Structure 1
Amino acid sequence: MKKILITLALLAITAVTAQAGPEEDRMAFIKYYKAKFPSVPMEEYANGVYAIDPIGRENWEAIEEFPPYEPFIDAGQAMWEKPFANGKGYKDCFPDGPAMADKYPSWDKQQGMVVTLPLALNQCLEANGEKPLKYKKGPINNILAYVAFQSRGKVINVEVPKDDPRAMAAYEDGKKFYFTRRGQLNFSCASCHLQNAGLRVRTEILSPTVGHVTGWPVYRSKWGTVGTLHRRFSGCNNNIRAKALKAQGEEYRNLEYFLTAMSNGLELNGPSARK
């Protein structure tokens, strides 16, 4: 009976999202996961896969007692406080302070595109004559880890402005990417993280889509370092034998826009650690 209900919920979410707006999409996702994992409180989805993996959660909580990402937070704080060559710094670009991860991704009407936090940080650097940071590895993760740590407890609230049709188009592009099958394995994001969430692939349990963005950047044991969300996007594409796209390119930024909107209402808890 439970499998029938989940199948019906999956069919419903597919039908709804074909013509719905962001809030209707989010509620359809929530309804589906409530049917699939009825004992999991909604706020637990901020913990990603560990909301539905009790064994993995025990290991994760043990790791969090001595988190491997702490040195990256410290390095990021040093970056935040260090002046640029012109005497200015990140503080001049972001006067409200580093606790700002909840403001991204956002729709920038002037630029006509989705602006993510890594992109905003690099735009700050370039505006002050500094060299931009690489988007997957290296120092970008330090500053992101510091901002994420300062932003813990802030609530995600992505807005898709109704007065700018370009914003909705970007959101719809992200949603289309999520549901589109690709690669030699012919998988979509939804194949793993919606339809098969909770099932095991090799040694890992597939995480639910809701809550995917809350804990980034993430220290992964297989990486041996902290990495960005777009690095993970590339890894997913590689796993299904599809061509990885450019980090912070339009496709991945729009996908992040969609995914973050699906996590509206959840608290940020980055940086985090994963296998």
Structure 2
Amino acid sequence: MRTSVKIIIVGLCLLLGVPVWASTPEEDQAAWRAYYEQRFPKVPVEDFINGVYAIDPIGRENWEAIEEFPPYETAISNGEEMWETPFANGKTYKDCFADGPAIEGQFPYWDKERGMVITLPLALNECREANGEPPLKYKKGPIADLLAYIAFESRGQIIDVKIPQDDPRALAAYEQGKAFYFARRGQLNFACANCHVSSSGLTLRTEILSPALGHTTHFPVYRSKWGEMGTLHRRFAGCNKQVRAKPFPAQGEEYRNLEYFMTYMNNGLELNGPGARK
């Protein structure tokens, strides 16, 4: 069976709530990539990190012009200052992350001891709390600035999310994230996959729907619609609101597992955040 057909059938089964045959994450990822390669045969795989601008030449021209003087530069500078500024106890983020700020490629990961997916924003706040500092809000503001600096320092790293074979809870988290992606919700009865898999490249109102491949590579982003920086989980919440569904808490289990699935699907692609979007 062609992989493009396979992933659509799997997605439809998940949307309809009917059982599907078992597939490994590796098979899912191969089918995911093959689907977008077949749907957009003129787009180099590595270009999907640019989101909708990989498939929208007119939008790409405007985006490239914006990137000459990127609106996220201030966020990067603010984030660097946060990284270097000592906490009240004299320690800094460097005491939590010995590898320095270029660490985005290490996240998300499965923490076997705690039995949960650890994302970068969660790890940053846990560092703060361990050093007597209050946690940052997860959707925008200082957390987005700090993430922008880390993303900038991490550009070019290759995504390589692992799903440990010796812990079935890790696979369960991945499967929960996958199920979330294909589950319909809200008054409009839409799933993430309705827009970004089966309808990717089509136009909704005046917007071209971006392909899901590459979605997690460029966050946090400065959105013209927001007029500021925002995190990946802010975007998740916004999508839920658009289909008139109640958003889940940022950095709650639902969104962390969703990020785990989506980032795994991007294995092999480069990180290129922070980004600028409409």
The amino acid across from 2:240 in the alignment is N
Matched, 1:158 2:161: yes
Aligned counterparts, 1:45-64, within 5 A: 45-64=48-67
- SS of aligned partner of 1:267: coil
Secondary structure, counterpart of 2:238 in structure 1:
helix
- Structure 1 Cα separation of the partners of residues 174 and 3 of structure 2: 26
Unaligned segments of structure 2, at least 5 residues: 15-19
Counterpart secondary structure, 1:107? strand
Give the partner amino acid of 1:25: D
Cα contact 2:188–2:243 (8 A) shared by 1:
yes
In the TM superposition, residue 203 of structure 1 has moved relative to its aligned partner by: 2.0
Q: Which residue is equivalent to 1:133?
A: 136
The reply on whether 1:198 has 2:191 as its aligned counterpart is no
Amino acid at match of 2:61: E
Hey, what's the Cα distance between the residues in 2 that align with 1:39 and 1:167? 35
- How many Å apart are 1:33 and its aligned residue? 1.0
How high is the sequence identity, in percent, across the aligned residues? 66
Query: CA shift at 1:7, angstroms?
Result: 7.7
TM-score norm. by structure 1 comes to: 0.95
Show the counterpart of 1:143.
146
Equivalent in the alignment of 1:223: 226
Alignment RMSD: 1.6
Q: SS of the residue aligned with 1:147?
A: helix
Q: Deviations over 1:149-183 (max 9, x none)?
A: 00000000000000111110100000000011111
Distance 1:261 1:152 in 2: 17
Q: Is the 8 A contact 1:60 1:273 kept in 2?
A: yes
* d(CA) in 2 for partners of 1:57, 1:35: 21
TM-score, normalising length from structure 2?
0.94
Query: Contact between 1:6 and 1:35, CA under 8 Å: does it hold in 2?
Result: no
In 2, Cα distance between equivalents of 1:12 and 1:236: 23
Q: Which residue of 2 aligns with 1:22?
A: 25
The residue aligned with 1:267 is 270
Looking at structure 2, the residues matched to 204 and 19 of structure 1 have their Cα atoms a distance apart, in angstroms, of 35
2:244 to 219, 241, 245: 241
- Evaluate the alpha carbon distance shift between residue 7 and residue 258 of structure 1 in structure 2; reply closer, same or farther with a 3 A threshold: closer
The reply on whether 1:178 has 2:212 as its aligned counterpart is: no
- Separation (CA, whole Å) in 1 of partners of 2:6 and 2:91: 52
Check if 1:71 corresponds to 2:74.
yes
List, as ranges, runs of 4+ consecutive aligned residues in structure 1 with deviation greater than 3 Å.
Answer: 5-18
Task: Tell me whether 1:42 sits opposite 2:35 in the alignment.
Answer: no
AA at the equivalent of 1:89: T
Distance in 1 (CA, whole Å) between partners of 2:214 and 2:99 is: 25
Residue 269 of structure 1: SS of its match in structure 2? coil
